[in-house]
Amino acid sequence: MSTQILILQLFCFVKGNGFSTALAALLLAWIFFKFSSWASKSKKNLRLPPGPMALPVIGNLHRLGKLPHRSLADLASKYGPIMFLRLGSVPTVVVSSAEMSKEILKTHDQKFASRPRMSFANNVLYDSSSLGFAAYGDYWKHIRKAVTSQLLGPKSLESLKSMRAQEMRAMVDGLTQHCNSPVNISELAFSVTTSMSCKMNLGINYSESRTGFNIIELVHEFFYIGGIFNIGDFIPWVNWMDVQGVNRRQKNLHRKFDAFLDKILEEHLQARARGEPMGDFTDELLGLMDHPEHKFTRDEVKANMLEMLFTAIDTSSLTTEWAMSELLAGPPSLMEKVQHELERVVGAGKKYVEESDLADLEYLRAVVKETLRVHLPVPLLLPRQATEDCQIGGYHIPRGCHVTVNAWAGARDPNAWGMDAELFRPERFVEETVDLDVKGQHFEVLPFGGGRRICPGMALGLKVVQLLLANLVHSFNWRLPNGMQARDLDMREEFGLSTPRAVPL
């Protein structure tokens, strides 16, 4: 007797005998589950990756902990570099080595190029319309092409060179006035990168109040709410209850951003009508509303304005903050080596480091690369979704399965980095692995992801971090305040949309 007939007969029996709806649903679900389990086991060559036993309802969610990238790395040490978990009701494969990451991001890249739908992207980013969260398809291809060729192409980055130089000079001049006073480097890096991102993306100074919004507060709220774990993403049948209030907070945040972005768009549209386009990234995005292949909607433009604004801020400020943390926490010779190189290349009498100096600052670049290895801005790459059945490492990955690359685990793998993989040692990018880079072609370290979904702002992000760090270290001598020793510096991290320091520097 087929399962469909059996379920139909049971339903008719239950209905005719007056059993409760709940009992009927339970029996039907049990029969369906048993049949599905039997059917899946009967198929050949559908061996799932190994993984821990899942609990009812929550699956393996309890295994994630406060720092999921570390918890998953611990599980990988037991179950291997590719493992299967059930996060609530969501089947998830986690890969934790360079070899397995290459399978996902290069060998089978197209099969894993799409994104699962998540509440934050749906509620805040205009129904997942931004480049980072959009499903793989024609729309994603159009926006990707526009961003990489127009908005973040070499010509565009060169045109903003003078703006970056002005921001660096303003920062150095401001710090000079506060010599011998404590400086909050976390706030400083955040402020500088926010200012640069606002000018580059929106054509405004973030300190200006003409929009009627506090941009700094909006930015902080974006990252705070974006980092809240939403149980409804993993157990969909409780999502409608919004037991944590996360959906409500996300929608409230969206309304704030929508009003803010509408004001920015109106300013740009009026400027274009006068024949005086502002020439920033928003202006370029507005041009896509007349795109011959896909006429972008106003909401699609706003979604990408929002994403480009915040990704430019977060990666650059956090990487600079962690780099300074490592220079201050390490032996004095570490900071001295960077400063000596700057004196040799830039000159001790020169106040500012220019972009033209960066090509000759080999050790500074190594410090930035090592910072990106040890303190990945996004330790768990944004989840991907299998668009068809696939074999990875001899295991079956079913269509619809979520796939997460634990880049943090790969960047600390002793097989790739040696037994000192936990240590901050920039020399590994100078003496031992000079051919290894952080731009997505070497899967041992993936600060910007890889494959089709690699971060399009990678070149800009690296340039800003190098320039910011170089100016901080070249112009000033730094020490910890109030008699603190290097060993006293708290190097713990927090987990959210990114991994900031638990205690600001």
Confidence band of 464 (pLDDT split at 50, 70, 90): very high
List the domain range (segments joined by +) for residue 2. Answer: 1-42
Query: Encoding tokens for residue 104?
Result: 């996902």
**Residue-wise pLDDT tens digits, 191-205:** 899 888 888 888 877
Q: How many residues comprise the chain?
A: 505
Say whether both 16 and 90 belong to one domain: no
Say whether both 322 and 413 belong to one domain: yes
Confidence band of 434 (pLDDT split at 50, 70, 90): low
**pLDDT value at residue 209:** 52
Confidence band of 22 (pLDDT split at 50, 70, 90): very low
Distance CA 124, CA 127 (A): 7
Say whether both 170 and 214 belong to one domain: yes
Higher-confidence residue of 200 and 25: namely 200
Confidence band of 121 (pLDDT split at 50, 70, 90): very high
- In 116-234, where does DSSP find H-type helix? 119-124, 138-146, 154-159, 161-176, 185-201, 215-226
**pLDDT value at residue 338:** 95
**pLDDT value at residue 38:** 40
- Beta strand 82-87 pairing with 90-95: antiparallel
Confidence band of 45 (pLDDT split at 50, 70, 90): low
Say whether both 157 and 19 belong to one domain: no
**Residue-wise pLDDT tens digits, 207-235:** 655 566 777 788 888 888 888 888 999 99
**Residue 296 counted as domain residue:** yes
**pLDDT value at residue 318:** 92
What average pLDDT does this structure show over 18-32?
Answer: 44
pLDDT above 70 coverage of the chain, percent = 89
Position 35 pLDDT exceeds 80: no
Is 455 flagged in the annotation as binding? Answer: yes
Distance CA 104, CA 279 (A): 38
Position 27 pLDDT exceeds 60: no
Least confident of 7-21, 429-443, 455-469: 7-21
Q: Measuring CA to CA, which residue among 316, 324, 286 is closest to residue 455? A: 316
Q: 459-463 long-range CB contacts below 8 Å, 24 or more apart? A: 459/152, 459/157, 460/152, 460/157, 460/312, 461/312, 461/315, 461/316, 461/319, 462/368, 462/438, 463/157, 463/164, 463/355, 463/358
**pLDDT value at residue 409:** 95
Query: Encoding tokens for residue 310?
Result: 């915040």
Position 79 pLDDT exceeds 90: yes
Confidence band of 296 (pLDDT split at 50, 70, 90): confident
**Residue 505 counted as domain residue:** no
- Whether the Cβ atoms of residue 191 and residue 504 lie closer than 8 Å to each other: no
Say whether both 159 and 219 belong to one domain: yes
Position 359 pLDDT exceeds 60: yes
**pLDDT value at residue 206:** 66
**Residue 495 counted as domain residue:** no
Mapping DSSP onto H, E and C, the string for 186-207 reads HHHHHHHHHHHHHHHHCCCCCC
**Residue 500 counted as domain residue:** no
Say whether both 35 and 72 belong to one domain: no
The values of phi and psi at residue 419, to 5°, are: -70, -10
Q: What DSSP character marks residue 478?
A: -
**Residue-wise pLDDT tens digits, 84-98:** 999 999 999 999 999
Confidence band of 471 (pLDDT split at 50, 70, 90): very high
**Residue-wise pLDDT tens digits, 228-273:** 888 999 998 888 888 889 999 999 999 999 998 999 899 888 888 8
**pLDDT value at residue 26:** 43
**Residue 494 counted as domain residue:** no
What is the reported pTM?
Answer: 0.87
What average pLDDT does this structure show over 362-372?
Answer: 95
Position 179 pLDDT exceeds 70: yes
Residue whose token pair is 């040490």: 77
Q: Measuring CA to CA, which residue among 466, 437, 458, 461 is closest to residue 355? A: 466
Structural domain tally of the chain? Answer: 2
Q: Measuring CA to CA, which residue among 359, 360, 362 is closest to residue 427? A: 362
Measure the CA dihedral 102/107/111/116, to 10°.
Answer: 10
Q: Is 94 helix (H, G, I), strand (E, B) or coil?
A: strand
Say whether both 127 and 33 belong to one domain: no
Confidence band of 435 (pLDDT split at 50, 70, 90): low
Single-letter code of the amino acid located at 186 = S
Q: Write the CB contacts of 179 (distance below 8 Å, at least 6 apart in sequence).
A: 476
Say whether both 20 and 105 belong to one domain: no
**Residue 191 counted as domain residue:** yes
Confidence band of 505 (pLDDT split at 50, 70, 90): confident
The values of phi and psi at residue 400, to 5°, are: 90, -10
Strand residue runs (E) in 22-164: 82-87, 90-95
**Residue-wise pLDDT tens digits, 312-322:** 788 899 999 99
**Residue 501 counted as domain residue:** no
Single-letter code of the amino acid located at 190 = F
Higher-confidence residue of 45 and 39: namely 45
The values of phi and psi at residue 276, to 5°, are: -125, 60
**pLDDT value at residue 207:** 64
Say whether both 266 and 171 belong to one domain: yes
The CATH number assigned to the domain holding 250 equals 1.10.630.10
Say whether both 407 and 323 belong to one domain: yes
Q: Is 352 helix (H, G, I), strand (E, B) or coil?
A: coil
**Residue 368 counted as domain residue:** yes
**pLDDT value at residue 383:** 93
Say whether both 239 and 322 belong to one domain: yes
Please give the C-alpha separations between residue 428 and each of 326, 330, 369, 406, 461, in angstroms, as whole numbers. 15, 15, 10, 21, 22
Return the half-sphere exposure (C-beta side, CA atoms, 13 A cut-off) of residue 243: 10
Q: Which residues does residue 84 pair with via DSSP β-bridges, in sequence order?
A: 93
Mean pLDDT (the chain) is 85
Say whether both 25 and 68 belong to one domain: no
**pLDDT value at residue 319:** 94
Higher-confidence residue of 125 and 46: namely 125
Distance CA 321, CA 318 (A): 5
Position 34 pLDDT exceeds 70: no
